[in-house]
Amino acid sequence: MTDVQTAAPTHSAPGVLGRIFGNSQDGATGDGHEQVVLCHDRSSGLKAIIAIHSTALGPALGGTRFFPYASEEAALEDALNLSRGMSYKNALAGLDLGGGKAVIIGDPNKDKNEAMLRAYGRFVESLRGRYITACDVGTYVQDMDVIARETEFVTGRSPEHGGAGDSSILTAFGVFQGMRASAQARWGQPTLRGKRVGVAGVGKVGHYLVGHLVADGATVVITDVSEAAVNRVRAAHPEVEVVADTAALLQAKLDVYAPCALGGALTDDSVAALGEFGTVIVCGAANNQLAHPGVEKDLADRGILYAPDYLVNSGGVIQVADEIDGFNFERAKNKATRIFDTTLEIFTRAAADGVPPAVAADRLAEKRMREISALRSVLLPGARRG
């Protein structure tokens, strides 16, 4: 999914309602959302936005991001982009769940407290199951346990509370499956052995991904703004290379680039650098990697195989979705393993249709949402239509 944060608009910027309803003149800011809820609790200081993009396949499931946004407008834009991405992610993962996302405005290291999380939980509860939350950047399993004291519509809780625990585990596993499929498509073998893989961001998901890559025989190069995150990886895998920043990583003559931090990593400049220094695959865990529409075509034109982010990073949502019916790790892992097959299918469809993989993935997700939502026209005895 594209994440338009820095591109200059060709028309006057749409207002808040235009961004929500998707009725901007150039159509660049989205295709409309079902519901957006602004949540404010003065006593705890909570300021949050819950965005429900689609319930075509079922209740909207997506994590809660706790982040110190530069402005409330930036928080809204992120919530809208992320929730739309969740609709496509859940559709491609084969889940009977729609797409939603929430953001809490603030610094999780300074502002987060029990009262704020519980107030947020009450807002989630007020939606009566239209939105189910989980972890994301800035929120953790223990936070979900606190939120769950006020709402039943929360996943990603601790195993002690009947939950799935850290969803980063299967997120990383799913990205690795997508990367194996990319290797199969590019080199004819589903392995990264002997390949040079750069991981930008080794926090929640990235450090697990490094473990899979090292075990598979890859040479791994990493970078992260957090020295603690880098040191944790080096302690576990002293053989990894470390570079100063993402710019240095892009120039490190990688075979595979894995953006695993925040969105917008694939810009015109970064794609040009990847092409110049010989990178042939992009496959990572970050959401909304494409900085603006057209980047997916630029990648394809440069011969870089792009594995759509919302396809390969769906292991986490597969994990927390399994919690809804009583969590079983092996069952969830088996579902996440299928990301390998779905990724290959997307590459095959893209080649057959002559389009970039991101376009093929969009089409497949939209097809499933369209076909399944149409079943609501079949009236069940004793049920209301719709």
Q: Give which of 218, 212, 215 is closest to 192, Cα–Cα.
A: 218
Reduced to 3 states (helix: H, G, I; strand: E, B; else coil), residue 223 is strand
**Mutual angle of helices 357-373 and 339-353, in 10-degree steps:** 110
User: By the 8 A CB rule, do 163 and 323 touch?
Assistant: yes
Tokens of 322: 């399994």
For the chain, the first-to-last Cα distance in angstroms comes to 28
Torsion of the alpha carbons at 84, 88, 93 and 98, rounded to the nearest 10: 50
For residue 82, give every residue at least 6 positions away whose Cβ sits within 8 Å of its Cβ, in sequence order, or none: 51, 62, 65, 101, 103, 287, 288
- Give me the sign of the Cα torsion angle 199, 92, 159, 216: negative
What is each CA distance from 316 to 96, 171, 329, in whole angstroms? 15, 4, 12
Residue from 101, 112, 195, 335 carrying the catalytic annotation:
101
- One-letter amino acid of 103: V
Q: Give which of 77, 75, 131 is closest to 105, Cα–Cα.
A: 75
Rounded distance between C-alpha atoms, residue 222 and residue 197, angstroms: 8
Residue 165 Ramachandran class (φ > 0 left, ψ -120 to 50 alpha, else beta): left
User: By the 8 A CB rule, do 40 and 75 touch?
Assistant: no
Other Cβ atoms closer than 10 A to 132: 26
Rounded distance between C-alpha atoms, residue 272 and residue 133, angstroms: 37
Q: Give which of 364, 344, 355 is closest to 180, Cα–Cα.
A: 344
Let me know if 195 is a catalytic residue: no
Q: Residue 206 gets which letter from DSSP? A: H
Which residues carry out catalysis?
A: 101
